Amino acid sequence: MDDILEILEGNARTSFEDLAKLTKRKLKDIKRIVKQYEKKGVIIKYRTMINKEKLHSERPVVALIEVKVTPQKDVGFDQIAERIYRFPEVKSCYLISGTYDLLLTVEGKDIHTVASFVAEKLAPLSSIKGTVSHFMLKKYKEDGVVLVKKERSSRLAITY
């Protein structure tokens, strides 16, 4: 992966000026390259990663839902996947190999919201043969970032 993408993936707030210094490129080149990435859809958006576990008052309930579907002629899984991922409750949707076909991450304000989404919106869809819901109890790591325990370096402040 390009240097610029690696830096931005680690910290989306890195300024163009800092990107230029960190990659030994000219400022105008950085701007051009980032714009190209945005245009091509390599960079989709810049967002903040929030540890919602710490937002005690509005901590959402998250469920991983395995969905078994009947693929449709000509369009396979894509059409049914689209019907599902369009729901705002669905935060992610993957086509997977194995016993189930789709894996969803569904978020709701409480357990009843998620349960009623599954029972009333998801399960009744005609192509859906079955669902298995797993409610998330604790997030340890997300997108490569450990959420629960920060590692601390034990090094001394000055050494040869």
Partner 1 sequence: MISKRVKKIPPSGIREFFDLVLGMPDVISLGVGEPDFITPWRIREKAVTVLEEGYTSYTSNKGLTLLRRGISGYLKKKYALSYDVDDEILITVGVSEGLDLALRAVLNPGDYVIVVSPHYVAYPALAELAGAKVLYLETKEKEEFKISLPQLKKLLKYGPKAIILNYPSNPTGVTYTKEELRRIWRLIAPSHAVVITDEIYHDLIYDGFHTPFSALKGAKERTILLNGFSKGSAMTGFRVGFACGPKEVIAAMTKIHSFSMLCAPIVSQFAGVESLRAQREIAFMRREYARRRDFIVKELNRIGLKTPNPQGAFYCFSSIEKTGMDSLSFAKRLLSIEKVAVVPGVAFGASYGNYVRISYANTIDNLKEAIVRIERFVRQSC
Where on the chain is the footprint of partner 1 (CB under 8 A)? 3, 6-7, 18, 21-24, 151, 153-160
Instruction: Identify which of residues 7 and 62 has a Cβ nearer to partner 1 in the complex.
Output: 7
| CB of residue 17 to partner 1, shortest distance in Å | 10
**HSE-up (13 A, CA, CB side) for residue 37:** 19
d(CA 141, CA 145): 5
- Asked if 72 and 34 count as a contact pair (C-beta separation under 8 A), the reply is no
Q: Which is nearer to partner 1, 74 or 151 (CB)?
A: 151
Name the minimum Å distance from CB 145 to partner 1. 14
Determine the Cα–Cα distance for residues 21 and 6; give it in Å rounded to an integer.
15
From the CB of 125, what's the least distance to partner 1, in Å?
Answer: 41
Please measure the distance between the N-terminal and C-terminal CA atoms of the chain and give it in whole angstroms.
Answer: 34
**Six-digit token string for 159:** 């050494």
Least distance from partner 1 to the Cβ atom of residue 55, Å: 24
Q: What minimum distance in Å lies between the beta carbon of 14 and partner 1? A: 8
Q: Residue 21 or 134: which CB sits closer to partner 1?
A: 21
Q: How far, in Å, CA of 27 to CA of 16, rounded?
A: 7
The kind and range of the H/E element at 49 are none
**Which residue number, 99 or 153, has a Cβ lying nearer to partner 1?**
153
Nearer to partner 1, 137 or 157 (CB): 157
- Non-local (6+) Cβ contacts of 44 within 8 A are none
